[in-house]
Amino acid sequence: MFFILGISISVFLVFLLLIKKDKSSADKILLAWLVLLFAHQLINYLEDTGELNTHPHFLGLDFPMPTLHSVLLYLYVIEITGNKLKKKVYYFFHFIPAISLILLAIPFYSLTGAEKIYVIENKGIGYEWYVIYQNLVMFTSGLIYSGWSLYLIRKHQKNIQQKFSNIDKKELQWLQYLAIGLGIVWPLVFFFDNTVIFSWVVVLVLFIGFFGINQLNIFQTNANPQLDNKVVENSKTERNENKTPTPSKRYAKSGLTEEMAERIYSTLNELMAEEALFNKNDITLTELAKRLKIHPNHLSQVINEKEQKNFYNYINALRINEFIRLASLPQSKQYTLLALAYQCGFNSKSTFNKQFKEHTGKTPSEFLKSINS
């Protein structure tokens, strides 16, 4: 019954993705993975019930399937984090292990139905070499691609802190847990039977259904060409103003001089003091750079160097300071702490509490009690 649940959920998720309009590349890869999960679970269920022996020509179709799961996860992670492969042909190389399993299994596929059943029921008799190779490829590629996926997700999590002031629903923690969960499958293969392994697969399918379908690709917008042109013009103007600009060692690679950095930093502080842009909960590095008429990379570099913070921590530090100022006003007593936090630009209670604790070492209530006592 539990396996039927996994198969049914897979079919339902496939249907949802099929009717989804304007599917992204990530959606298409997820769709392919869900179809694979459906097929793999179905074959396992038919094997478990003995029904597959009545259709022996289907035996062996699942040989390359375990290897494909981790590959499709990796390709999905690449797409959803914006790390697309430069050429489509590169995708082919990731399927070579699975293709090798198909080609090497051709002698098995050529057997009669009765012969196939005999080999399967006797744990691969006559094809022991293939079983060893299959396990080696499955275990190695599974761990490599799961680990590679985790690395890309972690890199993405660091990257978005340089671009966004609010990263809720952008951290892809659900995908990180999914990669870990898939990585756990491979050791299970060596210690447990298919009942335990596919029970875990059903859990992963349910996990995908709960978290994955509504996940948006946050890197849909390309850089604005007009902004890039303005950046080039501004850079030329700044260089012409200084006949002999001398980049410091810190800014040498970007061409940003110490004088330019100081000017940007001063303008940034004035803008924040006058307009309190940090109160906007979706303010981004690109948007702020556009207001300052500079390249986002220069702004990021200045914040990193001058504040010793990434963009995310810089903006949230300003929000914390503004929250403390507002909470200290007598007229603010009528508002809840969370209402004040939202007014300062936070969009979730958990993020506010976490950032406040990191910034002050205390919870909001503890901090306000200490300054009022």
**Per-residue confidence (pLDDT) for residue 170, from 0 to 100:** 81
Residue 71 to residue 79: CA distance in whole angstroms: 13
Q: Return the ∠ at Cα 90 (arms to 87 and 96), rounded to 5°.
A: 165
How does DSSP assign 218-248, residue by residue?
Answer: S--PPPPHHHHHHHHHHHHHHHHHSSS----
**Per-residue confidence (pLDDT) for residue 243, from 0 to 100:** 40
**Per-residue confidence (pLDDT) for residue 136, from 0 to 100:** 93
Contact present, 69 and 98 (Cβ < 8 Å): no
**Per-residue confidence (pLDDT) for residue 227, from 0 to 100:** 35
Residue 184 to residue 251: CA distance in whole angstroms: 44
Cα torsion angle, 185, 186, 192, 195, sign: positive
Q: Identify the bridge partners of residue 284 per DSSP, sorted by sequence position.
A: 164
Q: Which amino acid is at 231?
A: V
Q: What is each CA distance from 21 to 74, 165, 268, 305, in whole angstroms?
A: 24, 29, 41, 43
Q: What is each CA distance from 26 to 33, 160, 176, in whole angstroms?
A: 11, 18, 16
Q: Which of 256, 214, 259, 252 is nearest to 231 (CA)?
A: 256
Q: State the pTM of this model.
A: 0.77
Q: Where are the alpha helices (DSSP H) in the chain?
A: 2-19, 25-49, 65-80, 89-93, 96-104, 106-109, 113-121, 128-160, 173-191, 194-207, 225-241, 258-275, 285-292, 296-307, 311-327, 337-343, 349-360, 364-372
Residue 173 to residue 185: CA distance in whole angstroms: 19
Tens-binned pLDDT, residue by residue, of the chain (373 aa): 788 999 999 998 899 888 888 888 888 898 999 999 999 999 999 988 889 889 888 899 999 999 999 999 999 999 888 877 777 788 889 999 999 999 999 999 999 999 999 999 898 899 999 999 999 999 999 999 999 999 999 999 988 988 988 887 788 888 899 999 999 988 888 788 888 888 989 998 888 877 765 554 422 333 333 333 343 344 344 434 444 344 445 555 567 788 888 999 999 999 999 999 999 988 999 999 999 999 999 999 999 999 999 999 999 999 999 999 998 888 888 889 999 999 999 988 888 999 999 988 989 888 888 776 6
Residue 247 to residue 254: CA distance in whole angstroms: 9
The tokens for 352 are 């506010």
**Per-residue confidence (pLDDT) for residue 94, from 0 to 100:** 93
**Per-residue confidence (pLDDT) for residue 213, from 0 to 100:** 57
Helix (H, G, I), strand (E, B) or coil at 55: coil
**Per-residue confidence (pLDDT) for residue 345, from 0 to 100:** 92
**Per-residue confidence (pLDDT) for residue 229, from 0 to 100:** 39
